[in-house]
Structure 1
Amino acid sequence: MPTVSIITITYNAERFLERTIQSVVAQQATDFEYVIIDGASTDGTLDIIKRYEKHITTWVSEPDRGLYDAMNKGLHRARGQYVWFMNAGDELYDPQTLPSLLAKSKATQADVYYSDALFVRDDDKHIGIPVGLRSQVTPHTLPHTLKWQDMALGMKVCHQAFVAKRAIAPDYPTDNLSADLDWEIRCLKAAQTVEFLPFILCKYLVGGLSVQQHRRSLIDRFNVLVTHFGLLTTLLNHGRILWRSARFSAR
C-alpha cells in the first residue's frame, strides 16, 4: 500500500493538465500512487494522459455526474494511506514537496496535514504567474492549530493543501458546489491529530467551478455551514464574514 494517493480530476482540460502531471512526475519520491479520473473528455486530454501513462498508476475516462462524483470515484480507487487531490491545472509546489510530506507522515502519522497554498493566475496572458499565498491575498487567515470549528467563517484551508488519511475521508456530496468545505469539516471532525506543515504544498490555479457559478456556490456554502454549526450561528457568522471581507478589501 503506498503512503499517498495523489488524485487528479479532469475534464476537457488539455490546456492545464500537463502542468499538473509534470509536477507529479518531478517529485523525488516513489512511495505514492497517481490516479487520474477523466470525465470522458472530447479534447486532447486523453492524448496527454496516454503520453504520461507510465507515470500514472491507474486512470479511467468515462462520463460522470460532475466534479464531486468524479472525486468520489478517485477516493474509491485510491489505495494509499493518505489521499491528496491535485486537480487539472493545480501543481505540487516543487520537487521536494512530496518527499517532505512523506517524511513528516512517517514521523508523526497525523490524521490530517495542511499548509498554505500559492495562488497562480488562469488567464490568456498570465497562466501560472503567482498571485500570492492564499493566507495573504484572501481574508482567510491560516491557523497553525486547525480545528473543525475554525471553518465557521468558511474554508480556512485550500482543498489542494489538505491531505487526509483515507480511513477518515468520507464521500463528497455530489449536489453541492461547496462539497470540499463539507469534506474538510468532516475529516477534521473524525481526525484525532491534525498537523500544520511549515512548507507550501501546492500551487492553486485561480478559477474553477465554484468561481464560475459563484452565487450558487455561496448558497451551498451557507447550507454546509448550517449543517455543521446551526442556522442562528451561521446567520451571525455571515455578518462577520461580510465585515471581514469589507475590511480586507479596504486594506
Structure 2
Amino acid sequence: MKITVITVSYNSAATIADTVRSVASQSHPDVEHLVIDGQSTDGTVQVVEAHRHPNLVLSSEPDKGIYDAMNKGLSRATGEVIGFLNADDFFADADVLARVAKAFEDDPSVEACFGDLLYVSEDNRKVVRYWKSRPFEKGSFARGWCPAHPTFYIRRSALERLGQFDLTYRLAADTEFMMRYLERGGVRCAYIPRVQVRMRVGGATNQSWRNIVRQNQEIFHALQKNGVPHLTVSFWAHKLASRLWQRLAGLLHPA
C-alpha cells in the first residue's frame, strides 16, 4: 500500500529537517513524501534538499495560503492513502505509517483513520497537551470533538468522492474537511489508539484570540453547511472540558 505524506511549508527552515527525517525513517516500505513549499525566503528549500531522501518530491511556488497548498498536494499525490504532516511536526516513532497501513489493510471498508497527538515545546523536551482521541460517533463534531488533522489519513476513493479543502474557510478548512468526510459523507473510519504525531506549539490558529474566535465561527458555519445539528452551549461545554482534560493529561505524560 503506497502512502503519500504531504508537507506544506513556508519559511520553515528551523523545523522542517525534523519533519523530513521522520518521514524518511518510517518502517513502512512504500512512502511518497510531497513537500509543497510556498516559495520560502529563509532557506527552507535548501534545508529540504540537504535532507532529501529518494521518495521525496519537492516543489516551491507561490500559493494562496496553506489550504491551497494542501489542495495542490492532494492533486499531485499518487498514493492509495494520503495524509498530512506539518512542517513543524514529526512522527512519534518509526512505525506510524505501518500502523496506518494496517488500519486500512485489516478492513478494506475503512476509508479513513486517525490517532492521538502530543503538543510539545519548541525544543521537544516538554509535553504541553495530550490530544487523546476516541472512535468517531456520528454527531461528535456537534460536541466540539475533532480528530487531530496531522494524524488523519484517507483513501483516494474517499477523496475522489468527497473532494478537497474548501478554500472559503481560512482557519478551519481542515476541520470542515474531516467533518464533511465523517459526518456528512459517512466515511467508515478507524481509530488508532497511539500517539502518532508530535506537534510543536504555535500554529496559525493559536497565534491570537482573534484567530481562535474566527476559527470557531468557521466551525459553526461548517456544522450548518454539513447538516450537523448542534447546540452552541453543548458545543462549548464539551470543547472546553476536552481542552482542560488534554492540558492535564499533557502534564502527566512523560516527555
SS at match of 2:42: coil
The unaligned stretches of length 5 or more in structure 1 are: 136-140
Structure 1 contact 226–234 (Cα < 8 Å) conserved: no
Aligned position for 1:165: 155
Note if 1:38 corresponds to 2:55. Answer: no
Number of residue pairs aligned between Structure 1 and Structure 2? 240
Alpha-carbon distance between aligned partners in 2 of 1:43 and 1:49, rounded to the nearest angstrom: 12
2:204 to 209, 214, 226: 209
The unaligned stretches of length 5 or more in structure 2 are: 249-255
SS at match of 1:55: coil
Amino acid aligned to 1:113: C
**Could you say what the CA RMSD is over the residues aligned between the two structures, in angstroms?**
2.7
The 3 A distance-change label for structure 1 pair 17 and 208 is same
Task: Give aligned-pair identity as a percent.
Answer: 26
Alpha-carbon distance between aligned partners in 2 of 1:90 and 1:214, rounded to the nearest angstrom: 23
1:128 to 124, 130, 134: 124
Aligned position for 2:12: 13
Shift of 1:32: 1.8
Alpha-carbon distance between aligned partners in 1 of 2:55 and 2:48, rounded to the nearest angstrom: 8
Structure 2 contact 145–239 (Cα < 8 Å) conserved: no
The 3 A distance-change label for structure 1 pair 245 and 55 is same
Alpha-carbon distance between aligned partners in 2 of 1:195 and 1:47, rounded to the nearest angstrom: 37
Amino acid aligned to 1:171: Q
Amino acid aligned to 1:228: L
The 3 A distance-change label for structure 1 pair 184 and 6 is same
Aligned position for 2:232: 235
Structure 1 contact 111–191 (Cα < 8 Å) conserved: no
Alpha-carbon distance between aligned partners in 1 of 2:215 and 2:185, rounded to the nearest angstrom: 22
Shift of 1:76: 0.8
Amino acid aligned to 2:202: G
The 3 A distance-change label for structure 1 pair 214 and 67 is farther
Alpha-carbon distance between aligned partners in 2 of 1:227 and 1:233, rounded to the nearest angstrom: 11
Aligned position for 1:138: none
With structure 2 as the length reference, what TM-score do the two structures score? 0.83
Aligned position for 2:180: 186
